[in-house]
């Protein structure tokens, strides 16, 4: 033990020698260093907010940031908060957002946010500090060491890189920024050792170059022929269609094709449109659909849950080539940008499309049946109507994993793309408070509301302090049922009413909790009182919270899974 302690002490002294040497050898003000180049990379991406938690491995970078008056650091209370905020900022704009954390525990704390960005279609740049370059991969246990941090980051990003020397910095940052703006929206990470930030960096960064794969005109023509012959086409949209709202609408109207969605696809087609279909309607239409078009979606849900008939043709439009034939051989894949592909399809259908009956009446009947089926989901439906009555069309809803949000998938009136933010396939419980703060930072002109349950609330509730400190206009709508509600329900359903375990919660007094941070906090007693309370909260210029006590809610999952 004494020998191990001596070795650790020597390693720590060596670490501090590296840090001191790096500081002593740092370039004079005005000279380009790796740290200053990182600032230039952020500028080149149009990033003016950096969600961060500083630490000693990144001191030289933050020293460079002092002089970058156009980039405002937002210091969070936990690294997970920084990552979730970057997620929200990237999702609501469709553009890049960035975070900066220390290595080891800092990077691992941010990992859930990077996973959420990976599955939530978000262009998030993670600046991650690293141990001194001489100790990389040697398993010394030096401060914040990991045996192989890049191995973890590669699972959370589409591109991970490392700057081992100043002379490599321009090339690494150029690759990183190019990757971030290209292809499928997913995170990118760059590791920088503590002794490299201050090294000289020769060269100049070019503007980020977005590489968009060209769309194969032959694939478009083939898809147009298939869709032109279709009798009952159907469209499913996902997060990759967020910036293709108008072309999707045009394609749907040309084909008389209903459109349904899950998660980030919600809002791509306005729920009030005659061809919009809620999820249960999509399930009703699926068996008779001879051609199904997936736009910017993995389509894992219907493929896994509903199954595909031999005679059913799938057309998959996706910028990620891996998604073009993941589930079924014979899928007709179109690789490329969703908006461009839809426009090309509309043009090509002018040569191939058959006439079809107007499906407005059919969809109206299915919509009426849908709302009859779910009418018992109270009080969730009444609370969602109350929210809709207050939120403007472009108001931002951020969902946490909670009962009201589940029902929002199948009942809320989604009117605009990028107005309903989720963590997608990650299904991240507890991201909501920080996720919403990030969205509010990036789109301050749009009212923002986070729907969260008491189970997820305390995961990132401390970031209310961040919202107060930086005067961020976010509103949290907290539904308190004293439990991990979904867990408790599943336990009762599967094992019996007296077989619940580890699912009940004892919570703070929420109004006092919110006010202790300086957050305007008010209770709403019912769906009828919620609109007035929400209006006051949303009008408040800083962070606010609304608390609703709620009993056990009816189970929405039969309508979310709608299995075959």
| Res 90 pLDDT > 90 | yes
Cα–Cα distance measured from residue 68 to residue 359, given in angstroms and rounded to the nearest whole number: 56
What per-residue confidence (pLDDT) applies to 222? 97
3-state class (DSSP) for residue 80: helix
Helices (H), 26-122: 34-44, 59-66, 79-93, 105-119
| φ/ψ of residue 474, rounded to 5 | -115, 150
Nearest to 142 by CA among 57, 79, 20, 53: 57
Reported as a pLDDT band with limits 50, 70 and 90, residue 20 is: very low
Cα dihedral sign, 483-77-112-297:
positive
Cα–Cα distance measured from residue 312 to residue 187, given in angstroms and rounded to the nearest whole number: 34
What per-residue confidence (pLDDT) applies to 263? 86
Cα–Cα distance measured from residue 247 to residue 270, given in angstroms and rounded to the nearest whole number: 13
Would you state the structure tokens that stand for residue 3, as one six-digit string? 């020998």
Cα–Cα distance measured from residue 106 to residue 125, given in angstroms and rounded to the nearest whole number: 15
Query: What percent of the chain stands above pLDDT 70?
Result: 94
pTM surpassing 0.85? yes
119-162: per-residue pLDDT in tens? 999 999 999 999 998 888 888 888 888 999 999 999 999 999 99
CATH fold for domain 2-193:
Rossmann fold (3.40.50)
Largest CA distance in the chain: 84
What per-residue confidence (pLDDT) applies to 305? 82
CB atoms within 10 A of CB 99: 31
Distances in whole angstroms, Cα of residue 24 to Cα of each of 38, 129, 198, 271, 293:
20, 19, 9, 61, 60
| Res 290 pLDDT > 70 | yes
CATH number for the region 222-360 comes to 3.40.50.1220
What per-residue confidence (pLDDT) applies to 141? 85
Distances in whole angstroms, Cα of residue 237 to Cα of each of 13, 180, 268, 290:
55, 23, 7, 17
| Res 562 pLDDT > 70 | no
What per-residue confidence (pLDDT) applies to 30? 61
Nearest to 150 by CA among 182, 190, 114, 186: 190
What per-residue confidence (pLDDT) applies to 28? 47
Helices (H), 96-215: 105-119, 149-156, 169-181
What per-residue confidence (pLDDT) applies to 23? 42
CATH fold for domain 374-561:
Rossmann fold (3.40.50)
- 82-96, 172-186, 478-492: the lowest-pLDDT one: 478-492
Distances in whole angstroms, Cα of residue 193 to Cα of each of 56, 150, 155, 378, 422:
11, 13, 20, 54, 33
Nearest to 158 by CA among 129, 174, 181, 137: 181
229-288: per-residue pLDDT in tens? 999 999 999 999 999 999 999 999 999 999 999 889 999 999 999 999 999 999 999 999
Listed by start position, the domains of the chain span 2-193, 222-360, 374-561
């Amino acid at each position: 033990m004494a020998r191990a302690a001596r070795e650790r002490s020597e390693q720590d002294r060596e670490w501090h020698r590296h840090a001191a040497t790096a500081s002593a050898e740092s370039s004079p003000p005005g000279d380009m260093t790796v740290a200053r180049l990182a600032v230039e990379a952020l500028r080149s991406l149009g990033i003016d907010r950096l969600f961060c938690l500083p630490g000693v491995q990144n001191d030289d970078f933050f020293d460079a940031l002092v002089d970058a008056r156009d980039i405002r650091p937002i210091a969070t209370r936990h690294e997970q908060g920084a990552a979730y905020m970057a997620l929200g900022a990237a999702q609501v704009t469709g553009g890049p957002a960035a975070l900066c954390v220390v290595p080891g525990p800092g990077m691992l704390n941010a990992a859930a946010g990077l996973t959420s960005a990976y599955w939530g279609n978000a262009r998030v740049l993670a600046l991650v500090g690293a141990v001194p370059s001489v100790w990389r991969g040697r398993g010394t246990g030096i401060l914040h060491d990991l045996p192989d941090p890049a191995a973890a980051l590669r699972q959370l990003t589409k591109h991970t890189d490392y700057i081992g020397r100043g002379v490599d910095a321009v090339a690494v940052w150029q690759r990183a920024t190019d990757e971030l703006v290209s292809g499928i929206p997913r995170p990118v990470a760059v590791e920088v050792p503590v002794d490299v930030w201050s090294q000289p960096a020769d060269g100049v960064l070019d503007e980020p170059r977005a590489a968009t794969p060209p769309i194969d005109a032959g694939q478009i023509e083939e898809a147009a022929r298939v869709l032109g012959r279709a009798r009952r086409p159907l469209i499913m949209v996902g997060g990759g269609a967020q910036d293709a709202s108008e072309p999707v609408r045009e394609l749907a109207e040309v084909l008389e094709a209903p459109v349904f969605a899950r998660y980030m696809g919600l809002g791509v087609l306005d729920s009030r449109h005659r061809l919009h279909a809620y999820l249960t309607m999509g399930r009703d239409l699926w068996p008779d659909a001879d051609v199904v078009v997936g736009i910017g979606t993995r389509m894992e849900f219907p493929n896994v849950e509903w199954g595909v008939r031999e005679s059913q043709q799938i057309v998959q439009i996706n910028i990620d080539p891996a998604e073009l034939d993941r589930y079924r051989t014979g899928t007709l894949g179109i690789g490329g940008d969703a908006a461009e592909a839809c426009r090309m399809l509309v043009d090509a259908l002018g040569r191939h499309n058959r006439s079809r009956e107007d499906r407005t009446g059919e969809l109206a009947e299915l919509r009426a049946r849908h709302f009859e089926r779910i009418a018992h989901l109270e009080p969730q439906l009444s609370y969602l109507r109350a929210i809709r009555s207050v939120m403007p069309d472009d108001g931002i809803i951020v969902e946490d994993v909670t009962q009201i949000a589940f029902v929002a998938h199948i009942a809320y009136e989604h009117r605009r793309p990028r107005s309903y933010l989720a963590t997608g396939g990650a299904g991240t419980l507890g991201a909501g408070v920080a996720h919403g703060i990030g969205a509010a930072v990036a789109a301050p002109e749009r009212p923002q509301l986070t729907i969260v349950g008491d189970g997820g609330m305390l995961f990132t509730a401390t970031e209310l302090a961040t919202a107060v400190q930086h005067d961020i206009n976010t509103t949290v709508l907290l539904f308190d049922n004293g439990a991990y509600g979904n867990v408790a329900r599943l336990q009762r359903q599967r094992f019996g009413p007296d077989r619940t375990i580890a699912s009940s919660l004892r919570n703070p007094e929420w109004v006092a909790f919110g006010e202790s941070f300086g957050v305007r906090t008010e209770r709403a007693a019912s769906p009828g009182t919620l609109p007035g309370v929400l209006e006051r909260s949303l009008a408040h210029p800083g962070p606010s919270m609304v608390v609703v006590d709620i009993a056990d809610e009816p189970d929405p999952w039969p309508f979310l899974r709608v299995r075959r």
